[in-house]
Chain A
């Protein structure tokens, strides 16, 4: 599932432009337009006044740029009596994402390490079940999980939502680390054993320092995955831990007499900002991460 990163294309770039190459670029530019249009529309719409939005000139640039919609989306848009915009959701999402990512990546790393080097009895079966788990639709286990979380009293709390993210993230993160550790030379491990190093020593001193790149992949994968989650946050977030995606949907489906498309678009961009930033800042790792983890769907 990981891919070879052969950034260098074959041969030299041809100097002359043949008709075929014009066609090639033409196709690429048309495709690029298809992919870029929605983003462009979102941005220009969010900068327009509502009156201008109503003119229906989807692609036109705003006649005067106003950030009012952004301010409203961030801090004053209402749902019911509460008028705090989408900012509380941002804080919630940051909290949920940071804690869940740290715990789930640590768990996954330990799991992968234990599975690759300490082949205790039943390890393969355990791993097999876990991989199957990557394919189980959430809907099939949400109901029992709610009942279970009630029994241990963490439903609706931060701990509850973090636990759910750790559970659903575990298969893929474990898989990534296991595959990575399996590719490391066995001798490395054996030598450490002969030197008398134990389970945690080998893990912390030898394995983790060697797995910085794969950890980056796992972190990116989990961060975007958890940030973009809607269903789990909606169900397990309780009142105080609703992530930004849920609040976004709430704000967009709420309307007071008129639909404020510009505010909706601004809220949408704000929600998308974090994963987009990760994507633009860590391009190479991002590509590896999603390729490795698209299993998560």
Chain B
């Protein structure tokens, strides 16, 4: 620790005369391009710049898949950004294994990440061979149904409590001229909806047996067939404009009172907040939707590709440290609609939807690992392709999709 600080000081002295301005410019790649996300990321950038010497060079790329693709290409090409957003998942596993990421273990020990971060399991994907290579900055759960309260009131229906309700209510909502369930027709959104149905209809036990244990019998079971069946029924509930639609354009349909509900991760909350809507009054949030909801603890992490310049490395550590700052955690997550990773911050200011999420996260029984933290990107992607194909091909039989599903899980890593 001591030597590195001296080295750092020396290099700082050497560089300061020539490169002071550039020395701590960090390029950050992320895919936060919706309104609520823009507000949240601007906050981080401002906070980071506020330390006086560093500068956040923003590289926003629309779409998570596209953004991750660019990060991968640039790391492969030796032109890595200084920081990049990933999902809390296995997406960057090989980068860590190949020693291309900055080791954050020392910083984590110093700042006691393992004590303040909860639930503990969200640090798992960051850990490779006992070392930490990423920093989780928020918890996102996919399992939320966002509703437009006014529409349910007008139609005279209670908010749905589970997927069966969603399906049963559809005709009445449609008859009143609204879209029963808005879905954005992009692969990852269809896959997210599938995961919500999986968790809501199949439950945590089935989820773990299928994804974690790779239990082939579970994947081929009747319960799993029911998941696919329920998911298939949702096709009828969306509108014609679904194809290719962004998630936030879809949320906007609920915000503007065109659609009754959307199944989307908790980040959708940011769009309601931005539109000036009130939780519990204008819009509702149903975890699951299920009577015994289970939330996956996904979220965003930052990785810091290794650089040769110690000055930049120091700035990377400063950025990591700032991201976990209690104050930043509260402000950022409030804007983003996600849950802080620290258990020790005051979230009294959180609205009712967020409070629901916080309460659920308290108990380990209500949480599970997200699919992309269990499966490799390759396998995860194959399942997404399959789910998307099934969603868009009503003629595909349950048996067929379930067989392929089980095969991919047996075959993939």
Contact A155 B41 (CB under 8 A): no
Interface residue? A131 (CB, 8 A): no
Which has the most chain A C-beta neighbours within 10 Å: B34, B76, B79? B79
Interface residue? A149 (CB, 8 A): yes
Interface residue? B60 (CB, 8 A): yes
Given contacts A150-B76, A257-B274, 19 further A-B contacts (CB under 8 A): A80-B30, A80-B32, A81-B42, A150-B78, A155-B74, A155-B77, A156-B78, A236-B77, A238-B74, A239-B57, A249-B62, A253-B62, A254-B33, A255-B33, A255-B35, A256-B35, A256-B38, A257-B35, A257-B275
Interface of B (DSSP majority class): mixed
Interface residue? B58 (CB, 8 A): yes
Interface residue? A78 (CB, 8 A): yes
Contact B76 A146 (CB under 8 A): yes
Stretch at the interface among B141-149, B169-177, B244-252: B244-252
Kindly state the interface size class of chain B when it binds its partner.
20 to 34
Report the Cα distance A54→B27, complex, angstroms.
37
Kindly provide the distance from the CB of B245 to the nearest chain A CB, expressed in whole angstroms.
9
Kindly state the interface size class of chain A when it binds its partner.
20 to 34
Residue of B nearest to A146 (CB): B77
Contact A235 B73 (CB under 8 A): yes
Residues from 78 to 124 in B contacting A, C-beta threshold 8 Å: 78-79, 81
Interface residue? B56 (CB, 8 A): yes
Which 10 A-B residue pairs are closest in the complex by CB-CB distance? A80-B60, A156-B79, A155-B77, A150-B78, A256-B35, A81-B58, A253-B62, A254-B33, A257-B35, A254-B62
Interface residue? A188 (CB, 8 A): no
Kindly provide the distance from the CB of B209 to the nearest chain A CB, expressed in whole angstroms.
37
Binary B-proximity of A128-152 (CB < 8 A = 1, otherwise 0) = 0000000000000000001101100
B60 / chain A contacts, CB cutoff of 8 Å: 79-82, 250, 254
Kindly provide the distance from the CB of B323 to the nearest chain A CB, expressed in whole angstroms.
15
Residues from 53 to 74 in B contacting A, C-beta threshold 8 Å: 56-63, 70, 73-74
Contact B38 A81 (CB under 8 A): yes
Residue of B nearest to A251 (CB): B62
The residue from A80, A146, A156, A258 contacting B33, defined by CB atoms under 8 A apart: A80
The residue from A160, A254, A258 contacting B252, defined by CB atoms under 8 A apart: A258
Binary A-proximity of B22-46 (CB < 8 A = 1, otherwise 0) = 0000010010111100100110010
